[in-house]
Amino acid sequence: MPVMNYIQAVTQALKEEMTRDEKVFVLGEDVGVRGGVFRATDGLYEQFGEARVLDTPLAESAIAGVGIGAAMYGMRPVAEMQFVDFILPAVNQIISEAAKIRYRSNNDWSCPITIRAPYGGGVHGALYHSQSLESIFANQPGLKIVMPSTPYDVKGLLKAAIRDDDPVLFFEHKRAYRLIKGEVPTEDYTLPIGKADIKREGSDITVITYGLCVHFALQAAEKLEAEGISTHVLDLRTVYPLDEEAIIEAASKTGKVLLITEDNKEGSIIGQVSAIIAENCLFDLDAPIKRLAGPEVPSMPYAPTLEKEFMLNPDKVERAIRELAEF
Amino acid sequence: MLKEGHALTVEKITMPQLGESVTEGTISTWLVKEGDHVKKYDPIAEVMTDKVNAEVPSSFTGTIKELVAEEGETISVGELMCYVEVENVKSHEDSSNETEKSQETKPAVEAIEETFDTKDQSMKMRYSPAVLRLAQENDIELSQVKGSGKSGRITRKDIEKIISSGDIPKSNLKETSSSDDGNTVQVSQQKSSYVQSTEGDIEIPVTGVRKAIAQNMTRSKAEIPHAWMMVEVDVTNLVKYRNSVKDKFKSEEGYNLTFFAFFVKAIAKALKEFPQVNSSWAGDKIIQRKDINISIAVAKGQELFVPVIKFADEKSVKGIAKDIATLAGKARNGKLHSDDMSGGTFTVNNTGSFGSVQSMGVINHPQAAILQVESIVKRPVIINEMFAARDMVNLCLSLDHRVLDGLICGKFLARVKELLENTSNENTPLY
């Protein structure tokens, strides 16, 4: 099984889906000749031509709108937002149109669009290149939000997103692009959207998180294993709608739960996870549910020291786990 | 230790971050070799990343000591590329000192935390929902479980371990309800509903000594069938005697010669003659105490202490007066030890000091009786068919009717009365 990095898995999934189904096409800023600012669409233009790999103007509302229209007519567009920070001009298209068209048309129409966007900090991206915006979309029934953590999950879930008959937001952590490597099967496979995945079995502490933080949790867990602290790590993979069953099972398993997100704490995805646990697991809880998240600061600072302070890392996760273990 | 022998120190050069999403780089060419002298900012290697080709500058002025990464090797940002020997000792010394310091202090902090953890049991009674549920489902008595969590908290894991071990500490409520142990009485008392406060009322939490008093009194009244007797004693002679010597006594001894000391002395002597009164109920037997240890009640603010005058029958009036002064002083200063308060066999209560002329004492469990010495008051008394103004005092005795009856107590009180009425300069030495 070949080892590839996170972004190569994105490219691989796009290539395979475009080969499998001619209705699949890519559009976005600099996705064509340039191959994407992160090189996610590298080689697609050469392989599939300009009709299926569209360089668009700097107009995110148009990228989403064109994609939504094409999707409603039976195409399978994969729209790229260069950074998730730039998705905001397209929010009206996504929430008002893509998310609601099936409901509004009484099931006559659907919108099988996938919107990809790199998110997250830790790359000196500062204000406009570091945000985590998933929670903006996380109470819009009709939308799905997928945020994978490993190359294997990237390929399987991106293919599933493209094949999904409804709109899927596919958020990729930009720092994971070249940091995270893993084995990815060459054959065709998909992974179920809406299902969380146990990334590590443990019995003392349950960590529930998603995206890059999964790796921080795994690194911390590895280190704490030597001290006799056994950590269970659940990767949400899909942050909307949440996999309630898996969350309840994981939380009940140890009764001590740490929830992690890189997003600002208040109003984040993990607040919802916490509510699910509180509603369902009271009599299994052995400690207050603990959240580890970004501070309530408007944006990721540019100064490296402050960025480091803002970002989560394995040490912060380790400290939080140890605190819970000692409780 | 690297700088041994010469004033050189070895610094590391690591892979720099060469772009916003770059996490690793491949060394395409080393531009220096081991032993080369480099200046700060001189390029030392060409590095290739996904996005750029760049030259890595030296962060120090010095001599290349060792090239760790090889050409063609891909290493992560922050990983070691090479070592440079630098002639700047100070910064290295500083940093090494710092690490040494932090290493030295760390174990100390841990040690403090450890002792803190083992002593602090403040979370012992804070049960999580999981712990409560498991304890209930498996009938585990939580008060008997040792907690491994923070500040003695019982964790879910602690309970799970107990369940899997099969050695489950059960609640012992059933056993106590059939035994003679007084705990059950307290339990049922505590469970009965209490009055509610209304607006403007002040609620005072019941803690410490107040709680102990409440428990002891409840136990005594619930368990012991109390009976009462009272005798009237003419202590005119005693008063005269005491008043004639008290000033001299105070100046010589440094503490007061109280009436109370005379009463205790007389009672101790009578107890020696009536050991039945100096005893305890013990279910299937009555225990007569050999030692005569007199408990005396000492009030301090909201609190009541009952210190003990040990071997009162062996002590002179002076010895008893001294004990009273010492114990009362200790009580006022909060210095009483449990030793000072244990071993009492009979209680004498100086209710007269509050002006009381008659009272019904609650027996100090597990003793068999308590004697209240009331106020000495001048009253007209008929002696030889004539009125006389006499110093009179009431002695009230509460007795455990399981142990004692009216006959024996009447004899005991008559003897105390006799001893007190005959107290005088001639037949009662102070020393």
**From the CA of A196, how many Å to the nearest CA of chain B?**
24
pLDDT value at A146 more than 70: yes
Q: What is the pLDDT of residue A285?
A: 96
Contact assignment for A175 to B133 by CB distance below 8 Å: no
pLDDT more than 70, % of chain B: 85
Q: CB A285 to CB B129 under 8 A? A: yes
- The shortest CB-CB distance from A123 to any of B21, B153, B155 is to B21
Question: In whole angstroms, what is the distance from residue A194 CA to residue A200 CA?
Answer: 19
Q: What is the distance between the alpha carbons of residues B362 and B113, in angstroms, rounded to a whole number?
A: 48
Residues of chain A above pLDDT 90, percent: 99
The predicted structure's pLDDT at residue B359: 92
Domains annotated on chain A, with CATH: 3-183 (3.40.50.970), 197-326 (3.40.50.920)
- Chain B touched by A178 (CB under 8 Å): yes
Q: What is the pLDDT of residues B70-128, one digit of tens each?
A: 888 888 888 899 999 887 554 444 444 444 444 444 444 444 444 444 568 888 888 99
The pLDDT assigned to B6 comes to 52
In this model, does residue B177 exceed pLDDT 60? no
For B68, counting Cβ atoms within 10 Å of its Cβ (0-12 exposed, 13-18 middle, 19+ buried), the class is middle
- Among A125, A283, A327, beta carbon nearest to B130: A283
Q: Measured between beta carbons, which residues in chain A are less than 8 angstroms from residue B129?
A: 282-286
Span B371-399, average pLDDT: 93
Quick one: average pLDDT of A275-303? 95
What is the dihedral angle through the alpha carbons of B160, B163, B168, B171, rounded to the nearest 10 degrees?
Answer: 70
Residues 20-39 of A with CB under 8 A from B: 38-39
Polymer length in residues for chain B: 431
Residue pLDDT, tens place only, B12-26: 898 888 776 678 888
The pLDDT, as a whole number, for residue A12 is 97
The DSSP code for A141 is: B
pLDDT at residue B193, rounded to an integer: 61
**Chain A residues with CB inside 8 Å of B153's CB?**
327
So what's the pLDDT on residue B114?
Answer: 44
On the question of pLDDT at A317 being above 50, the answer is yes
* pLDDT category of residue B325 using cuts at 50, 70 and 90: very high
Residue B180 has pLDDT above 50, yes or no: no
ipTM score above 0.85 = no
Judge whether residue B268 has pLDDT over 50. Answer: yes
Q: Tell me how far apart the alpha carbons of residues A299 and A187 are, in angstroms, rounded to a whole number.
A: 40
Distance from CA of B292 to the nearest CA of A (A): 52
Which residues neighbour B195 within 8 Å (Cβ) at sequence distance 6 or greater? none
- 8 Å CB contact of A283 and B155: no
pLDDT band at B51 (very low <50, low <70, confident <90, very high): low
pLDDT at B194: 75
Confidence check: pLDDT of B255 > 80 = yes
- Using the Cβ of A129 and the Cβ atoms of chain B, whether some distance falls under 8 Å is answered with yes
pLDDT band at B203 (very low <50, low <70, confident <90, very high): confident
Q: CA B69 to CA B82: how far, in whole Å?
A: 7
Taking residues B318-333, report their average pLDDT.
Answer: 90
Nearest CA-CA distance, residue A51 and chain B, Å:
27
By the 8 A CB rule, do B219 and B182 touch? yes
Tell me if chain B has a CB within 8 Å of the CB of A283.
yes
**Which of B116, B128, B160 best probes binding to A when mutated, by most A CB atoms within 10 angstroms?**
B128
Q: Are strands A257-264 and A290-294 parallel, antiparallel or unpaired?
A: parallel
* pLDDT in the model for residue B185: 46
Among the listed residues A284, A266, A278, A281, the one whose alpha carbon sits nearest the alpha carbon of residue A132: A266
Would you state the pLDDT for residue B116? 44
Point out the least confidently predicted range of B42-46, B196-200, B345-349.
Answer: B196-200
Residue A33, pLDDT above cutoff 90: yes
Active site includes B167? no
Averaged pLDDT for residues A112-133: 95
- pLDDT above 50: residue B5: no
Chain B residues lying within 8 Å of A255, measured CB to CB: 128, 130, 156
pLDDT in tens, A35-50: 999 999 999 999 999 9
Half-sphere exposure of B420 (CA within 13 A, CB side): 30
Q: Say if the Cβ atoms of A179 and B23 lie within 8 Å.
A: yes
**Beta-carbon contacts of residue A182 (< 8 Å; ≥ 6 apart):** A3, A4, A6, A9, A150, A151, A152
Q: A110 CA to chain B: closest CA distance, Å? A: 36
Of B223, B271, B231, which Cα lies nearest the Cα of B400? B223
* pLDDT tens profile A175-212: 999 999 999 999 999 999 999 999 999 999 999 999 99
**Strand-pair category, B294-296 with B308-309:** antiparallel
Q: What digits encode the pLDDT tens for the residues A228-266?
A: 999 999 999 999 999 999 999 999 999 999 999 999 999
Provide the token pair at A217: 């949790």
CA dist., res. B393 & res. B348, Å (int): 14
Most confident of A73-87, B173-187, B285-299: A73-87
Residues of B with CB under 8 A from a CB of A: 17, 20-24, 50, 128-133, 149-150, 153, 155-157
Mean pLDDT of B314-340: 88
Q: Which two tokens stand for residue B64?
A: 């290349």
Residues whose CB is less than 8 angstroms from the CB of residue A93 and which lie 6 or more positions away in sequence, other chains included? A61, A64, A65, A68
Residue of B nearest to A256 (CA): B156
Written as six digits, the tokens of B353 are 């000091």
Q: Is A53 helix (H, G, I), strand (E, B) or coil?
A: strand
Rg value, chain A, Cα: 19
In which residue are the tokens 């106020």 written? B375
Give the best-scoring range by mean pLDDT among A249-253, B323-327, B405-409: A249-253
Cβ contacts (< 8 Å) between A283 and chain B: which residues? Answer: 129-130, 132-133
Q: Is pLDDT at A137 greater than 50 in this prediction?
A: yes
Would an 8 Å CB–CB cutoff place A326 in contact with chain B?
Answer: yes
CB contact (8 A) between residue B130 and residue A179: no
User: Would you place residue B336 in the very low, low, confident or very high pLDDT band (cuts 50, 70, 90)?
Assistant: confident
Query: Would the CB atoms of A178 and B155 count as touching at under 8 Å?
Result: no
Cβ A326–B149 below 8 Å, yes or no? yes
Q: Are strands B24-30 and B346-349 parallel, antiparallel or unpaired?
A: unpaired
Facing residue for A177 by CB, picked from B21, B130, B132: B21
Q: Are A124 and B130 inside 8 Å of each other by CB? A: no
Output phi, psi for B63, to 5 deg: -110, 130
Taking the C-alpha atoms of A243, A249, A250 and A253 in order, what is their torsion angle to the nearest 10 degrees?
170
The reply to whether residue B128 touches residue A285, judged by beta carbons under 8 angstroms, is yes
Predicted local distance difference test score (pLDDT) of residue A15: 97
Distance from CA of A266 to the nearest CA of B (A): 25
- C-alpha to C-alpha distance for A185 and B161, rounded to whole angstroms: 42
Q: Closest to B128 (Cβ–Cβ): which among A178, A179, A287?
A: A287
* Contact across the interface for A125 and B20, Cβ inside 8 Å: yes
- The whole-model pTM stands at 0.57
CA A308 to chain B, closest CA, distance in angstroms equals 14
Of the partner residues A177, A179, A282, the one whose CB lies closest to the CB of residue B129: A282
**Three-state SS at A144:** strand
pLDDT given at position B165: 87
Residue B172 is predicted with a pLDDT of: 55
State the best of A181, A203, A283 to mutate against chain B, taking most chain B CBs within 10 Å. Answer: A283
Q: Is the pLDDT of residue B428 over 70?
A: yes
A84 vs A117: CA distance, rounded Å: 5
Q: Select from B24, B129, B150 the Cβ nearest to the Cβ of A327.
A: B150
B20, B133, B153 member nearest A327 (Cβ): B153
**Closest C-alpha among B288, B281, B286 to residue B223:** B281
∠ CA(B82), CA(B84), CA(B85), 5° rounding? 150
Distance from CA of A112 to the nearest CA of B (A): 30
Q: Do B131 and A38 touch (CB under 8 A)?
A: no
Chain segment B212-238, per-residue pLDDT in tens: 788 888 889 989 999 999 999 999 999
| CA–CA min distance A19, chain B (Å) | 26
Does the pLDDT at position B186 exceed 70? no
Q: What mean pLDDT do residues B148-154 have?
A: 91
Nearest to A263 by CA among A234, A299, A238, A235: A299
* pLDDT the model gives residue B311: 93
Give the mean pLDDT of A25-33: 97
- A–B CB contacts, 8 A cutoff, strictly below: 51
Give pLDDT, residue A293. 97
Cα distance between residue A239 and residue A193, in whole Å: 10
Pick B130's closest partner by Cβ from A39, A204, A255: A255
The pLDDT value recorded for residue B77 is 86
Q: A12 and A4 in contact (C-beta within 8 Å)?
A: yes
